[in-house]
């Protein structure tokens, strides 16, 4: 890469982007009575905000139903598996490259890790233990441009903080 300021060539080695982990079902308020649900894909260079594509949701739900059927599960269990299949999407995403995940749905976006100033996670569970998963949690991502507020339930705050720290994001 040419450094225009100093006028010399510099070798820059870009580390390949890799997925560190996922934070499912984070709700971002988009209007007075509306919100969008994202799966956050944490990589070593950025956080992807990924909406579940309707076609992908249907595919994953059908797979869950077929698997439950093959295991001899009844109608109620198959229905529950279909409803819970949204979390199974992480298995599909794990086999994809971050760029493929990002371009799967039109409303997806990302934030570069280096632009994140702070991530604050609070839980209203009333417990001091950060690994306690019951209750509602709020995550506020502060960048040099904006604040993004997300809400979810059953978040393992301690595990999420460790994941973000592995992505060089301070919590």
Q: Give the domains, in start order, of the chain with CATH numbers.
A: 17-166 (2.30.29.30)
Average pLDDT along the chain: 82
Other CB atoms within a 10 A radius of the CB of residue 98 amount to: 21
- The pLDDT assigned to 126 comes to 54
- Is a pLDDT exceeding 60 seen at residue 93? yes
Mean pLDDT of 104-121: 93
Give just the sign of the alpha carbon dihedral 23, 25, 27, 28. positive
Q: Is 117 helix (H, G, I), strand (E, B) or coil?
A: strand
Contacts of residue 20, Cβ cutoff 8 Å, sequence gap at least 6: 42, 43, 44, 163, 166, 167
Q: What is the pTM of this model?
A: 0.76
- The pLDDT assigned to 12 comes to 40
What are the structure tokens assigned to 138, written together? 């709020």
Question: What are 125-148's pLDDT values in tens digits?
Answer: 655 455 555 678 999 999 999 999
Please give the DSSP secondary-structure letter assigned to residue 14: P
Please give the DSSP secondary-structure letter assigned to residue 151: E
Give just the sign of the alpha carbon dihedral 145, 29, 88, 165. positive
């Amino acid at each position: 890469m040419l450094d225009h300021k100093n006028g010399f060539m510099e070798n820059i080695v870009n580390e390949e982007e890799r997925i560190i982990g996922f934070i499912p079902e984070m709700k971002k308020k988009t209007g007075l009575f509306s919100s969008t649900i994202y799966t956050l894909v944490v990589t070593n260079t950025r956080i992807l905000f990924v909406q579940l594509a309707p076609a992908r949701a249907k595919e994953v739900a059908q797979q869950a139903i077929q698997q439950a059927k093959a295991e001899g599960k009844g109608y109620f269990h198959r229905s529950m598996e279909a409803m819970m299949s949204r979390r199974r999407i992480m298995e599909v995403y794990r086999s994809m490259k971050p760029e493929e995940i990002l371009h799967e749905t039109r409303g997806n976006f990302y934030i570069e890790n280096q632009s994140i100033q702070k991530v604050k996670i609070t839980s209203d569970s009333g417990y001091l233990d950060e690994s306690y998963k019951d209750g509602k949690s709020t995550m506020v991502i502060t960048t040099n441009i904006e604040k993004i507020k997300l809400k979810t339930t059953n978040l393992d705050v301690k595990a999420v903080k460790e994941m973000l720290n592995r992505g060089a994001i301070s919590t």
